[in-house]
Amino acid sequence: MSGFSAWVENQLELRSFGDIQEAARALKIRPSELSRWLSAKRPPTQDTMRTACQVFDAPIMEVLVAAGYLTSEEAEPGTTPPSVIATIATQCLVDELTRRGIAQRSE
C-alpha cells in the first residue's frame, strides 16, 4: 500500500463510512475513482491530489507528503529547499567569474 492510499484509507476511517459506495457518494466522487486511490497502482496525478484536497478538506502539503512528492521536513512552514548556489564553493564561483572576464571590483 502506498503512502497516498494509506492516507486515503485513514481519511475514510476518520469519517466512519460504511463502504466505498457510501464514501464515494458522500465525497461526491465516483466509486471507481475512490477504488483507484485506495489501490494506488501508480503515484497520484496532480488532478487526483487536488481532488483529494477538496473532498477531504485537507491542505495540499499534507497530500503531497502522503503521496511521497515531499518529505515532512520539506513541508514544514518556513523551510525552503537548499539553494543550488549554496552548494557551490566560493572559489568555484570566483573561478567562473574570472573565466567569464568579470573583474573583481575593489571599493
| pLDDT given at position 65 | 92
Domains in the chain, start-ordered, CATH in brackets? Answer: 3-66 (1.10.260.40)
Three-class DSSP labels, 40-77: CCCCCCHHHHHHHHHHHCCCHHHHHHHCCCCCCCCCCC
- Which residues, 6+ apart, have CB-to-CB distance to 91 below 8 Å? none
| pLDDT given at position 44 | 86
| pLDDT, averaged in runs of 10, over the chain (107 residues) | 87 89 89 88 85 90 91 77 67 82 61
